[in-house]
């Protein structure tokens, strides 16, 4: 039996991943599965493990570069209603991993809860943001998450406290896990004031980063020991460097934007060039912030 026969109705074969990522680059996934509820997700992951099939969870694809050859495995998307529910009680917000994060910020603000606006302009699903502890200058998701329900690497479902998630700088201890939902503690806030802060932070990002209309995956490299990768890349003279249809943004050197005709290979070429030049210029080994599939 093929993989799709076992998951009829929720599985598709040879699905172009470019349509599912911000970069809009790269080849197809062998299979894309959209489970309807957590038990079905657990069955999909168990099947992948049993058969040794590589698998990944894809949110909005805002931090992912898919290679031109595509991904020869199973891509799981948590887009069913069971994974997108949002519940607010007092100062707690509990939301499914598939919930759209920018929308969640606004829902919380409308309910008189502030905090998440610190992450204004960060795209993606809640699950993706938890997994990588996304954030920026004004804070990261781990500042708010109190616990998360997770499908563990051993196939069990468990609630992890923030400590057990292990939030670090753009990292967590959730490798091999799937986030199912997360509970956040926010602070009562005047919606108008929180919206104003949201707008200010969004404007600040907009002024220093390429416009959202340009295809990118956000920052390519992690900052190192408080040294911004963007500055190192800039000082190494990389702004405006090109490979095929891809360019290191002249606005912010830690962004590689994809123009017309760009391929994933072009982006990978610029990543290699950038690493090389920064290593030669400053002896720093840059670490990827994005995921390459």
Which residues lie near ligand EPU (CB under 6 A)?
Answer: 136-137, 205, 208, 218-219, 222-223, 228-231, 234, 252-254, 289
- Closer CB to ligand EPU, 35 or 230, in the complex: 230
- Closer CB to ligand EPU, 185 or 222, in the complex: 222
| The dihedral sign for the CA sequence 225, 201, 212, 60 | positive
- Closer CB to ligand EPU, 90 or 283, in the complex: 283
Closest approach, Cβ 221 to ligand EPU, in A, equals 7
- Closer CB to ligand EPU, 269 or 291, in the complex: 291
Closest approach, Cβ 139 to ligand EPU, in A, equals 9
- Closer CB to ligand EPU, 138 or 185, in the complex: 138
- Closer CB to ligand EPU, 94 or 197, in the complex: 197
Q: Which two tokens stand for residue 4?
A: 């799709």
Closest approach, Cβ 223 to ligand EPU, in A, equals 5
Three-state DSSP string of the chain? CCHHHHCCCCEEEEEECHHHCCCCCCCEEEEEECCCCHHHHHHHHHHHHHHCCCEEEECCCCCEECCCCCEEEEEEECCCHHHCCEEEECCEEEEECCCEHHHHHHHHHHCCEECHHHHCCCCCEHHHHHHHCCEECCEEHHHCEEEEEEECCCCCEEEEEHHHHCCECCECCCCCCEEEEEEEECEECCHHHHHHHHHHHHHHHHHHCCCCCCECCCCCECCECCECHHHHHHHCCCCCCEECCEEECCCCCCCEEECCCCCHHHHHHHHHHHHHHHHHHHCCCCCECCEEC
Closest approach, Cβ 134 to ligand EPU, in A, equals 6
- Closer CB to ligand EPU, 82 or 120, in the complex: 120
Closest approach, Cβ 269 to ligand EPU, in A, equals 19
Closest approach, Cβ 169 to ligand EPU, in A, equals 7
Closest approach, Cβ 132 to ligand EPU, in A, equals 8
């Amino acid at each position: 039996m093929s993989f799709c026969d076992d998951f009829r109705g929720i599985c598709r074969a040879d699905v172009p991943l470019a349509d599912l990522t911000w970069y809009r680059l790269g080849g197809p996934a062998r299979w894309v599965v959209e489970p309807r509820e957590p038990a079905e997700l657990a069955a999909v992951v168990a099947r992948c493990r049993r058969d040794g099939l590589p698998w990944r969870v894809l949110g909005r694809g805002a931090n992912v570069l898919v290679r031109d050859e595509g991904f020869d495995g199973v891509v799981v998307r948590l887009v069913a209603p069971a994974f997108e529910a949002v519940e607010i009680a007092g100062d707690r917000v509990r939301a499914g991993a598939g919930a759209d994060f920018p929308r969640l910020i606004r829902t919380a603000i409308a309910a008189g809860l502030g905090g998440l606006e610190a992450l204004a302009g960060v795209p993606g699903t809640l699950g993706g943001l938890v997994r990588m502890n996304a954030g920026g200058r004004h804070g990261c998701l781990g500042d708010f998450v109190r616990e998360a329900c997770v499908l563990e690497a051993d196939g069990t479902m468990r609630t992890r406290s923030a400590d057990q998630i292990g939030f670090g700088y753009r990292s967590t201890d959730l490798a091999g896990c799937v986030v199912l939902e997360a509970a956040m503690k926010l602070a009562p806030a005047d919606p108008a004031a929180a919206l104003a802060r949201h707008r200010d932070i969004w404007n600040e990002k907009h002024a220093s980063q390429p416009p959202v209309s340009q295809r990118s995956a956000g920052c390519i490299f992690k900052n190192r020991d408080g040294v911004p990768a963007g500055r190192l890349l800039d000082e190494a003279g990389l702004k405006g460097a090109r490979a095929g249809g891809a360019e290191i943004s002249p606005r912010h050197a830690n962004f590689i934007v994809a123009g017309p005709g760009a391929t994933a290979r072009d982006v990978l070429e610029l990543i290699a060039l950038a690493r090389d030049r920064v290593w030669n210029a400053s002896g720093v080994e840059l670490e990827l912030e994005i995921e390459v599939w």
